[in-house]
Chain A
Amino acid sequence: MKFARNLIATAVLVTAGVSAFAQAGETVKIGWIDPLSGLMGPVGSNQIKSFQFFAEKFNATNPAKVKFEMVPFDNKLSPAESLNALKAAMDQGVRYIVQGNGSSVAGALIEAVNKHNERNPGKEILFLNYAAVDPDFTNSKCSYWHFRFDADTSMKMEALTTFMAEQKDVKKVYLLNQNYSHGHQVAKFAKENLGRKRPDIQIVGEDLHPLAQVRDFAPYIAKIKASGADTVITGNWGSDLALLVKAANEGGYNGKFYTYYTSVTGTPTALGKGGEGRVYQIGYAHYNMGGQNDKWAAEFNAKFKDDFYTNAVVHVFNALGQSMAKAKSTDPVKVAAVLEGLKFNSFNGEVEMRKTDHQLQQPLYLAVWQKADKKYPYSPENTGMTLAPVKTFEAYVASTPTSCQMKRPG
């Protein structure tokens, strides 16, 4: 009798608990689909470490009291491999996927997720994009199931060109980009924005090279030098930026570089002390954000001997934890409904997942490569150098309009 009473009491307690925090204690599997091999492998392995590191951190603190578990897939930077990985992830019960390297991959994933969600109601998948910045994903190709935590190229280039317009020494610009959607967009927006803000600036050359294929950038550097460019704008990342910078050093090119991804694996080492004051990065973060972020970065560095630079990972876990707590569920459909329009505090202040297009509205920072000092101490890859912010663009300044006609389910 006593046993039965206990049983009932426990059952009541459990149901009460469930109705209050239905999702508490659940495990949320997050499929990570990015390269772990090839020239971009080092970038991917840094990012999966970032995700695993913060999954552990946020498992202790997230308001939904869920347990995040990363399920990594090596996509070799190929859209076709990524779709296989997506299928494998679904088979393992993954309902949330994250990806960032290559808008070519992200585009394929968005389409696949759209189709899957349409055909399999009740098994929806959310795509949390942490670094693919092709503006189309939140404009003409915008999808209800896609959320972007990076700032897209329209935002970054707007901020970058605003800064460049004030630099009187910029006269001749060369655009060197990777030959796929991201590189095309960088070149397109750079030309449009510079034409609007500084029509006197000459575009003296424009080149597109294959993504993650070029081992030797010396011919490109020779070409840039011959064009007389004093400034290079490039959206290159990973090996494509590191090898470009290496070739520029060897080839004696002294112009300035305006980049998106100076902080990404490999480039700090290639830059070394040589690039001081000549290399700029536009991004939603930099090495010395201050506060909790610096502690995390130091801990990450101590643990992995690697640098934490994909700060959007923090956004992703913040947003997931909060929207799951609000939705009182880990069901992607319910979470998506809360996540769009969600305002939350993250490492760069209060940010908002804009409801109209699912583009995170956040501040942008223009940073310059210089010696690490007391104010900006963090030195990546033991270079003794750092990225120091020179200009901040608040979220409302960095924001750009969208043409998204969002189709919402139901």
Chain B
Amino acid sequence: MEFFFISMLNGLSYGLLLFMLSSGLTLIFSMMGVLNFAHASFYMIGAYIGYTLNSVLGFWVALLVAPFLVGILGATFERLCLRRVHKFGHVPELLVTFGLSYIVLEVVQLVWGRTAVEFAPPPALQGPAFTLVQNSLNGLSLVWGAAAPELCSAADAAVRVVCSPFPATRGFMMLVALMMMVGLWLLLKRTRVGLVIQAALTHPEAVEALGHNVPRVFMMVFGVGTGLAGLAGVIGGSTFVTEPAMAATVGSVIFVVVVVGGMGSLAGAFLASVLIGVVQTFAVAFDSSLVSLMQGWGWQLSSALQNNSVLKLTLSQVAPILPYLFLVLILIFRPKGLLGTRET
């Protein structure tokens, strides 16, 4: 049971990190029709700027300042590059962001080196947020912080006790993602700025005619979207590994999230990222293969068939393919995505 909870929490926390990234991506896409290939690069810049600020000003300052700096970088890129290319259509826009992702990768390697840097979370976030104690007599209980050693060991050998601490960094990651989600929702639905953004999304000419500066709205949205990626970078970089390949590892997955969730749909991005996070985490846990499945159905398999290397593949081995399988299936059967509204 505690295995289920811990795996669920692991999956949720990873899914929420993906959401922090994909929310910005989907926002930019729905506003500007730009598929920002460099989005994950802003995530990486966030992690590296966070790492540098962390060593000078401490983690909490880095957490606030790094996303802001990344947002400014993003807005500058929009103002100086993307806006000029905009008039040539979507393909040049796509290519510009594609090129940017390579430039960022090389620059990061030049500045911070080709290997991972040591970006440790602050002392307050080291150690567990809470501990699940599974006692075969008393059932499952929850202890905040680290559980005392005597709780985790039974005097009686017949009683099995398992303690599963849940790292505070992951708890913090979930908290920030949820706060960000609520903040974003309030901003879009409950403020005047949100109204203008929503209007600019569907009727840019009308909004412009009413005296709003639509290009500036675009720039702000791009800045906020990349800033959110930067925020995810600071948290993801300190929880996992800060290295030049970190953009590439999440880059392809967040596109899956955006497509599966529905282009331009925040709720869809949330659903899809949590789904993918949980599925990827749980897939690792299952050793069932086609062979075991068929044997479960009571089929008699020859030994050659049992040792067939394709049939023998377990779910945990194919786990990395699953998101992309999703992507293909969604594009075939529901091209607008799970919660998308427009056909793309």
Could you tell me which A residues sit within 8 Å of B by CB distance?
36-39, 41-42, 45, 179, 205, 207-208, 210, 213, 215-216, 218-220, 222-223, 225-226, 239, 243, 250-252
Contact residues in A for B76 (Cβ distance below 8 Å): none
Question: A207-B316, A226-B3 are known contacts. Are A250 and B165 too (CB-CB below 8 A)?
Answer: yes
Asked if B7 is at the interface (CB within 8 A of a chain A CB), the reply is yes
* Other A-B pairs beyond A216-B10, A218-B167, A252-B128, 16, CB < 8 Å: A36-B114, A37-B114, A41-B116, A179-B317, A213-B320, A216-B14, A218-B6, A218-B10, A218-B281, A219-B10, A219-B285, A222-B285, A223-B284, A226-B285, A243-B241, A252-B163
Task: Say which residue of B245, B282, B284 sits within 8 Å of A38 (CB atoms).
Answer: B245
* Residue contact A215 to B285, C-beta cutoff 8 Å: no
* Residue contact A210 to B320, C-beta cutoff 8 Å: yes
Contact residues in A for B11 (Cβ distance below 8 Å): 219
Contact residues in B for A207 (Cβ distance below 8 Å): 284, 316
Question: A41-B115, A45-B115, A251-B165 are known contacts. Are A239 and B287 too (CB-CB below 8 A)?
Answer: no
Could you tell me which B residues sit within 8 Å of A by CB distance?
3, 6-7, 10-11, 14, 109, 114-116, 128, 131, 152, 162-165, 167, 170, 240-241, 243-246, 249, 280-282, 284-285, 287, 316-317, 320
Smallest CB gap from B147: residue in A: A252
Contact residues in A for B165 (Cβ distance below 8 Å): 250-252
Task: Say which residue of B162, B167, B241, B246 sits within 8 Å of A239 (CB atoms).
Answer: B241
Q: List 9 interface pairs A-B (beta carbons < 8 Å), by A numbering.
A: A38-B243, A39-B243, A39-B245, A208-B317, A213-B249, A219-B285, A222-B6, A251-B165, A252-B128
Q: What's the minimum C-beta distance from A173 to chain B, rounded to whole angstroms?
A: 15
Q: What's the minimum C-beta distance from B284 to chain A, rounded to whole angstroms?
A: 4
Distance of A216 Cα from B14 Cα, bound (Å): 10
* Residue contact A39 to B240, C-beta cutoff 8 Å: no
Contact residues in B for A42 (Cβ distance below 8 Å): 115-116
Q: What's the minimum C-beta distance from A57 to chain B, rounded to whole angstroms?
A: 26
Contact residues in A for B244 (Cβ distance below 8 Å): 37-38
* Residue contact B131 to A252, C-beta cutoff 8 Å: yes
Contact residues in B for A216 (Cβ distance below 8 Å): 10, 14, 240
Contact residues in A for B131 (Cβ distance below 8 Å): 252
Distance of A304 Cα from B243 Cα, bound (Å): 22
Q: What's the minimum C-beta distance from A138 to chain B, rounded to whole angstroms?
A: 25
Distance of A213 Cα from B245 Cα, bound (Å): 10
* Residue contact A41 to B241, C-beta cutoff 8 Å: no
Question: A205-B287, A207-B316 are known contacts. Are A39 and B241 too (CB-CB below 8 A)?
Answer: yes
* Residue contact B3 to A222, C-beta cutoff 8 Å: yes
Distance of A292 Cα from B8 Cα, bound (Å): 52
Q: Which 8 A-B pairs have the closest CB atoms?
A: A41-B115, A37-B114, A226-B3, A219-B284, A250-B167, A252-B165, A215-B240, A219-B281
* Residue contact A222 to B287, C-beta cutoff 8 Å: no
Task: Say which residue of B152, B164, B280 sits within 8 Å of A225 (CB atoms).
Answer: B164
Smallest CB gap from A36: residue in B: B114
Q: What's the minimum C-beta distance from A226 to chain B, rounded to whole angstroms?
A: 4
Q: What's the minimum C-beta distance from B9 to chain A, rounded to whole angstroms?
A: 9
Task: Say which residue of B115, B152, B249 sits within 8 Å of A215 (CB atoms).
Answer: B249
* Residue contact B116 to A223, C-beta cutoff 8 Å: no
* Residue contact A222 to B10, C-beta cutoff 8 Å: yes
Contact residues in B for A252 (Cβ distance below 8 Å): 128, 131, 152, 163-165
Q: What's the minimum C-beta distance from B287 to chain A, rounded to whole angstroms?
A: 7
Question: A39-B245, A41-B115 are known contacts. Are A222 and B7 too (CB-CB below 8 A)?
Answer: yes
* Residue contact B3 to A225, C-beta cutoff 8 Å: yes
Q: What's the minimum C-beta distance from B136 to chain A, rounded to whole angstroms?
A: 12
Distance of A215 Cα from B44 Cα, bound (Å): 14
Smallest CB gap from B114: residue in A: A37
Contact residues in B for A179 (Cβ distance below 8 Å): 317
Distance of A250 Cα from B109 Cα, bound (Å): 29
Distance of A37 Cα from B281 Cα, bound (Å): 27
Q: What's the minimum C-beta distance from A366 to chain B, rounded to whole angstroms?
A: 28
